[in-house]
Amino acid sequence: TDPQPRGPLASQPFGSPAPPAHRMVSASQMALGLALAASGAQAFTPSTPQLLSMKATGSPAPQPFAPKPRVAAKPLVPSYPLARRTPALQAASIPAAVDVNEWAVKDPAYTALEGAPRYASDDWLFNLKTFFTSPILARVASHLLANTIFATLVWVAWAYYVPALKVFCAGLSTAPHTLTAGSLGLLLVFRTNSAYDRFWEARKIWGNLINKIREAARMGHTALSGPEREHYLALVAVFPTLLLQHLQALDGTYRKTLLSDLQKTALTDMLSKSDMEVLWKTRNRPFCLIKMMGAIVKRYYSDADNMAKRYGKTKEEMTAIEVAACQANIVSERSFFELRMTDFSDIMGMCERIVRSAVPRQYSRHASRFLSIWCFTLPFVLITSLGWKMIPAVAIICWMLFVIEEVGHVIEDPFNIHMAIGGSGQEDELRIEGSMMNLRLDTMERYPATDPSVTNLNGEQFTAKDYDIAQWHDEYKADGKR
């Protein structure tokens, strides 16, 4: 059904005669050759009937077969310098590679990425020492104290004042608590896992935001110039800070001010007075920032003279090829900026979804009621066998169960977790506030630009002029002009 001939006839015009007989190979000859080659034979010789058949048809005698010797694979690393392999770079000045050992002993701007603090097995003694200062214990203290006092009252009444209580407790069995303990444990574990899923989702969302912030900053440095570049970078740098503040609520105990100290530091010397006036009047500060970014990008790419300056000409002097290249760059870069701003809106919506939705209230209330009834009835089934020792036993059991439930409450709202355990040293459990200043420094850093107008002040870089972000590439240019 294929109208195009294939195989030996592919090069023959349609309808041309078949190739000569000596060029045809029978199926048996092909199978024999493949079998001998697969078995590692060094050569083969056809049989006498085959030789007679080839002689009668005029076919040439076959040549002995021998496999080609193996050739060592060439290394994948190209030889240096590159000019030897690329003729187009012959005129360029290829710099010599540096000695890595020489640079390995020099102090860089930073050594390595700082990891999050992790629990170690050696921390058990510290954890026991800080038992009574634990913020989680403080949160469950009222519930735990109520159960402990109730267990004490049950023992006093059982031992001294209510003889009938001994008879009542003696007839009770631990079977109901034993049977329901498994259900209670599953309920608490599911509640805690649901909260941890929200915690981990928030961390993934914020990690995605970090990636998008750096991509937006990279393109801002590469594509924009002048005041538009500086204003755009400043808005990108403060977006994480204002987004986090947007997600956090005021609290009379742990959060009494609109901005935390770390947020104030990240916002210092970044926005102008007019920017702050606009942001403080809007009903959604991070979304207003996104709109401000879009306005800057629109203004920059709507200026035809500014686009023509990339080629050192006015728009009237540009050739057709330069105009086409400029148009392609404008479409590509503008699309990139618009996609990043769309990403910012999506991330903001994901964060708001976590803050404004909670674990279903009916589930939390049922778990709380189940746990409270189970713990308040526990003294009656333990007092007969334990006596006064029932009091510490009930306190310890209640502490373990209450803390499991409270951990789920604490991490359920990850963006406000610092409010739940304020003053514990773990306020930034998601390491979100710690990332704000890092993102600001990453966004405002001017490297790889080496223009002398870029000044360094206390670890941050500033400039009021345009600069070439690829000046570090001059070593690869012939006389610095190509």
pLDDT above 70 covers a percentage of the chain that reads 75
pLDDT band at 4 (very low <50, low <70, confident <90, very high): very low
Residue pair 57/22 in contact by the 8 Å Cβ criterion: yes
Q: Which residue has the tokens 């329901």?
A: 180
pLDDT in tens, 418-461: 655 555 555 566 678 878 888 998 999 888 887 777 777 766 77
Amino acid at 465: K
Is residue 206 over pLDDT 70? yes
- So what's the pLDDT on residue 33? 52
Average pLDDT, stretch 195-206?
Answer: 92
pLDDT band at 401 (very low <50, low <70, confident <90, very high): very high
Distances (CA, A) of 99 to 90, 104, 189, 336: 24, 9, 56, 38
- Distance, CA of 84 to CA of 390 (rounded, Å): 86
Asked if residue 448 has a cis previous peptide bond (ω within 30° of 0), the answer is yes
End-to-end, the C-alpha distance of the chain in Å comes to: 56
* Distance of alpha carbon 429 from alpha carbon 439, whole angstroms: 18
The pLDDT of residue 475 is above 50 = yes
What is residue 430's predicted lDDT score, i.e. its pLDDT? 66
What's the pLDDT band for 57 if we cut at 50, 70, 90? low
Neighbouring C-alpha atoms within 13 Å toward the C-beta of 294 = 15
Q: What is the CA radius of gyration of the chain?
A: 38
Cα separations (Å) of 260 from 152, 246, 348, 421, 434? 44, 12, 20, 15, 12
pLDDT (average), residues 184-204:
91
Do the beta carbons of residue 374 and residue 184 sit within 8 Å?
A: yes
For residue 122, pLDDT beyond 90: no
pLDDT the model gives residue 89: 52
Query: Can you give the pLDDT at residue 133?
Result: 83
Separation between Cα atoms, residue 376 and residue 480, nearest integer Å:
83
Q: Reduced to 3 states, what is the DSSP secondary structure of residue 251?
A: strand
Length of the chain: 482
Query: pLDDT digit string (tens) for 70-80?
Result: 555 555 444 44
Question: Which is higher by pLDDT, 44 or 105?
Answer: 105
pLDDT band of residue 64 (cuts 50, 70, 90) is low
* Model confidence pLDDT, tens digit, residues 278-331: 999 999 999 999 999 999 999 999 888 777 777 777 767 878 888 888 888 889
- Give per-residue pLDDT as tens, 5-41: 444 444 444 444 444 444 444 545 555 454 445 444 4
| DSSP conformation class of 132 | G
The string of pLDDT tens digits covering residues 341-357 is 999 999 999 999 999 98
Structure tokens at 47: 């049989």
Q: For the residues 456-471, what does the mean pLDDT come to?
A: 75
Please give the helix or strand (H or E) that residue 392 lies within, else none. helix 390-411
Q: What is the pLDDT of residue 361?
A: 85
pLDDT for res 242: 95
φ, ψ at 34 (rounded to 5°) = -65, -40
CB 465 within 8 A of CB 226: no
Q: Please state the rounded mean pLDDT for residues 170-195.
A: 92
| Measured CA distances, 52 to 29, 118, 286, 328 (Å) | 15, 83, 90, 70
d(CA 347, CA 353): 10
Whether residue 233 is predicted with pLDDT greater than 90 in this model: the reply is yes
Confidence category of residue 478, pLDDT binned at 50, 70, 90 = low
Kindly report whether the global pTM for this prediction surpasses the value 0.85. Answer: no
User: Which range (156-160, 180-184, 380-384, 409-413) has the least confidence?
Assistant: 409-413
**Predicted pLDDT of residue 141:** 93
Predicted local distance difference test score (pLDDT) of residue 15: 44
Q: Is residue 481 very low, low, confident or very high in pLDDT (cuts 50, 70, 90)?
A: very low
pLDDT grade, residue 85 (50/70/90)?
very low
